[in-house]
């Protein structure tokens, strides 16, 4: 029996790219999304790769619908070995121009959907003592930016939930992996689907990456579980800036407001409440600006090794030069 992977938001963009990569890797794939026509088109694309595919129309903000989808996957495809929480929505607008209902809906679709997907997967994985759960997050879940308050808050919440759950799994000896994948700007249709109150088309800030790079990182997380994965150099720089100089990072992130504003346009309701029609495609409108990187992602294991190397270097330098450093400090204090 083939290993089975579930991908939410699997009918377009990163979700479709991830489902394709998992299918090419030999897994049976179940994709969840709201728009039935696009979902079936995506399923047809995946079936051509030769793997079993199950398309389930579902709003992942509905916990009961997610549970029912998991039950159907187990019944029709087999035991779930991997679950990728990818679905999201956002509102592009200043924080004080976003309604309470919009904050709630973004929270439901971008944060709580990952909670519901994770819990549904765990109900099946924990008794078997194996499985991989991947949370698709964003660099904006490390370093927040203007015009994205609900989305940033939801992605920060995903990290908190995942860290808390991971400690419980460790304490209970449960061999189910949890990985958070932090993404940069990615060339997907989402930039044309988001609810937008700015009066301008939303632009993606450079550098922009291929959704297939995100899919490679997700596939890696399933096959080689890591605590965290950062995709793209910009995500790494955001994490470093936030850790070392958060006030400076605030000022740098403030420029993101202008970078997002493109050509004038009217209000767009977007996909917050209803999925818009459109084809099953991975790529958005920024193809001419996409960085040609297919393996540019960095894992927490690499980060930890770099930290240990840095500590070793500091220790060596300290053993050699501590006296001269102290002399220099004394001179500055005179």
The tokens describing 69, both together, are 């989808």
Q: How far is the C-alpha of 36 from the C-alpha of 300, rounded, in Å? A: 37
Q: How far is the C-alpha of 33 from the C-alpha of 87, rounded, in Å? A: 8
Q: Under a CB-based contact definition with an 8 Å cutoff, are residues 143 and 237 in contact?
A: no
Q: How far is the C-alpha of 203 from the C-alpha of 333, rounded, in Å? A: 50
CB atoms near residue 73 (< 10 Å): 25
Closest residue by Cα to residue 138 from 154, 119, 125: 154
Q: How far is the C-alpha of 52 from the C-alpha of 43, rounded, in Å? A: 9
Query: Which positions are annotated as active-site residues?
Result: 151
Is the peptide bond prior to 218 cis by the omega test (within 30 degrees of 0)? no
């Amino acid at each position: 029996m083939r290993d089975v992977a579930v991908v939410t938001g699997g009918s377009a963009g990163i979700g479709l790219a991830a489902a394709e990569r998992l299918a090419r890797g030999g897994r049976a794939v179940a994709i969840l999304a709201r728009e039935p026509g696009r979902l079936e088109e995506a399923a047809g694309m995946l079936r051509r790769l030769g793997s079993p595919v199950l398309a389930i129309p579902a709003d992942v903000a509905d916990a009961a619908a997610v549970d029912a989808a998991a039950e159907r996957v187990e019944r029709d495809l087999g035991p779930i070995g991997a679950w990728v929480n990818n679905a999201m929505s956002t509102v592009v607008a200043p924080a004080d121009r976003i309604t309470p209902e919009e904050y709630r809906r973004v929270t439901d679709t971008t944060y709580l959907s990952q909670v519901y997907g994770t819990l549904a997967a765990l109900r099946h994985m924990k008794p078997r003592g194996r499985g991989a759960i991947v949370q698709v997050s964003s660099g904006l879940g490390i370093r927040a930016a203007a015009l994205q308050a609900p989305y940033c808050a939801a992605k920060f919440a995903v990290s908190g939930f995942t860290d808390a759950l991971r400690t419980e799994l460790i304490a209970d000896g449960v061999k189910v992996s949890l990985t958070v994948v932090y993404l940069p700007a990615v060339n997907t249709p989402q930039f044309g689907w988001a609810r937008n109150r700015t009066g301008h088309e939303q632009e993606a800030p450079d550098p922009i990456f291929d959704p297939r790079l995100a899919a490679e990182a997700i596939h890696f997380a399933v096959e080689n579980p890591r605590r965290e994965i950062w995709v793209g150099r910009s995500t790494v720089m955001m994490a470093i800036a936030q850790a070392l100089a958060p006030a400076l990072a605030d000022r740098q992130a403030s420029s993101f407001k202008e970078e997002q504003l493109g050509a004038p346009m009217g209000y767009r309701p977007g996909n917050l409440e209803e999925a818009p029609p459109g084809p099953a495609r991975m790529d958005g409108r920024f193809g001419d600006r996409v960085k040609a990187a297919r393996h540019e992602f960095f894992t927490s294991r690499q980060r930890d090794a770099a930290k240990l190397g840095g500590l070793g270097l500091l220790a060596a330098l300290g053993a050699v030069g501590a006296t001269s450093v102290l002399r220099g400090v004394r001179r500055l204090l005179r």
